[in-house]
Structure 1
Amino acid sequence: MKPADLELLVTRTMPYGKYKGRLIADLPGHYLAWFAREGFPQGELGRLLALMYELDHNALAGLLEPLRKH
């Protein structure tokens, strides 16, 4: 993980699927868990989804709050 990835979680949106347009940091845990079971996509998107899954799974998503632009 690169430190800049944390900021990307609160600025990048999901490019496709049921949650298209939603910030990666705001994706529901069950959706992230589905990717963890089925496989994350390749590239940056997959890396960010995997990181968000780990934060959500370990109840650390609150660490992203200071990075959000309110």
Structure 2
Amino acid sequence: MVVDTRPGPLHGCVTEFEKVDADDRGPRCVSISAMLADLAGSLETGVEFDEWIPVVFDDRLEWKPAR
């Protein structure tokens, strides 16, 4: 995950960088604060976050694929 610091309308967005398919999916979140809010919401409610679902198992947090 990287933050786009280039000037323009997507400045500050969070995107995924892969060596082969760099930025093919577009922005994942509009900002770091939006990403952290989504993560906190997922942990509090158990809803999907970035294709993963948080699960507490034996007092440990684990992430299971949503699909």
Same fold (TM over 0.5): no
The alignment's TM-score, normalised by the length of structure 1, stands at: 0.28
The alignment's TM-score, normalised by the length of structure 2, stands at: 0.29
Structure with higher strand content: 2
Structure with higher helix content: 1
Q: If you compute each CA radius of gyration, which structure gives the higher value, 1 or 2?
A: 2
Q: Which has the higher contact order (CA 8 A, sep 6+)?
A: 1
